Amino acid sequence: MIMEKLSDAGERTVGQSPVRSSPSGNRPAPPPRTGEPAPDGGLAVAARDFSFWYGKTQALDSITLDVPVRRVSALIGPSGCGKSTFLRSINRMNDLIPDTRHEGEILLDGSAVYSSGRDVVELRKRVGMVFQKSNPFPKSIYENVAYGPRVNRLVSSRGDMDALVEESLRQAALWDEVKDRLDRSALGLSGGQQQRLCIARALAVSPEVILMDEPASALDPIATQKIEELIHELKDRYTILIVTHNMQQAARVSDFTAFFFMGRLIEIGKTEEIFTNPRQEQTEAYITGRFG
């Protein structure tokens, strides 16, 4: 699909030398773009001058970025540029790491994530996370999905829980593969199935935003394709923020792409524009494989 997209635009292909001439090295750098709001106008997440430190190491430097509601936004950039740190800042998973601090703010649906009155458990229910390495609990498939709704007291009867588990597994495109073995250990599933189970587990508590940190990087091409199709299905209902090192994947799954470099947001825009006509030379160098 990326190749179609790019050849439609008639400009260049990813991973190869740019077809059109390089922008002038002397051109003054324009300010980074912010993602354009979705047609329905809402921003699910907005970072405002957000900086983050691990001890004395600054990992994020004044990130200002908009994440439109019910769209897929991809974060790309070389290793160590702060992508995971940024994702973990949104649902305050970084709070669990000692000796860290931040400046600036992140807003979830307009309200400050780091305000003193914020209920972090509720925040993580609204902002779910899926990691690179699938991490099912050593429990049954059913219990993996039922755990979140149970601790959050989302359903009261066994029948309602059964229905919620089924719906979550269906949404994660896993139901047909596991419906006859819900009581078996989740650890017996394949890597790709385990990752979809982790997505089902995230969906079961009805999040608004799903953060995915390289969700398919440990998977084979077929399992990867399933995850990408799933992301496509889910974006009608959820806001998805995905980190990926795979340029083609970013181009295939996302509506907006943000390029991070050394803790800074270099550029954000519509994915097609970022991949065909980046404004910043560093973005162009990265997407054409000249560094990172």
Ligand X SMILES: Nc1ncnc2c1ncn2[C@@H]1O[C@H](COP(=O)(O)OP(=O)(O)OP(=O)(O)O)[C@@H](O)[C@H]1O
| Site residues (vs ligand X, CB under 6 A) | 54, 57, 59, 77, 79-85, 97
Interface segment toward Mg ion; rule CB under 5 A; list 81-89, 178-186, 229-237, 280-288: 81-89
For the CA atoms of the chain, what is the radius of gyration?
A: 20
Distances (CA, A) of 115 to 106, 125, 254, 274: 10, 17, 30, 33
Minimum separation from the CB atom of position 83 to ligand X (A): 4
Q: Is 94 in the site for Mg ion (CB under 5 A)?
A: no
Minimum separation from the CB atom of position 131 to ligand X (A): 11
Interface segment toward Mg ion; rule CB under 5 A; list 3-11, 84-92, 259-267, 276-284: 84-92
Minimum separation from the CB atom of position 49 to ligand X (A): 18
Tell me the residue number closest to Mg ion, measured at CB: 84
Q: Which residues contact 140 (CB under 8 A, 6 or more apart)?
A: 182, 183, 184, 185, 186
- Pick what 57 binds: Mg ion, ligand X, none; C-beta below 5 to 8 Å, kind-dependent: ligand X
Minimum separation from the CB atom of position 288 to ligand X (A): 18
Q: Is 84 in the site for Mg ion (CB under 5 A)?
A: yes
- Pick what 79 binds: Mg ion, ligand X, none; C-beta below 5 to 8 Å, kind-dependent: ligand X
Phi then psi dihedrals of residue 119, to 5 deg = -85, 110
**CA-wise closest residue to 253 among 267, 272, 237:** 272
**CA-wise closest residue to 222 among 197, 195, 243:** 195
Q: Which is nearer to ligand X, 60 or 145 (CB)?
A: 60
Q: Which is nearer to ligand X, 60 or 205 (CB)?
A: 60
Site for Mg ion in 132-191 (CB under 5 A): none
Token look-up 């992508």 returns 83
Minimum separation from the CB atom of position 38 to ligand X (A): 25
Q: Which is nearer to ligand X, 53 or 147 (CB)?
A: 53
Minimum separation from the CB atom of position 10 to ligand X (A): 31
Burial class (CB in 10 A: 0-12, 13-18, 19+), 23: middle
Our CA angle for 262, 265, 268, nearest 5°, is: 140
Q: Please, are residues 121 and 148 in contact by the beta-carbon 8 Å criterion?
A: no
Sign for the CA dihedral angle at 198, 222, 82, 256 comes to negative
78 vs 64: CA distance, rounded Å: 19
Q: Which is nearer to ligand X, 169 or 258 (CB)?
A: 258
Q: Which is nearer to Mg ion, 77 or 128 (CB)?
A: 77
Amino acid letter for position 73:
S
- Pick what 97 binds: ligand X, Mg ion, none; C-beta below 5 to 8 Å, kind-dependent: ligand X
Q: Which residue ranges make up the site for Mg ion (CB under 5 A)?
A: 84
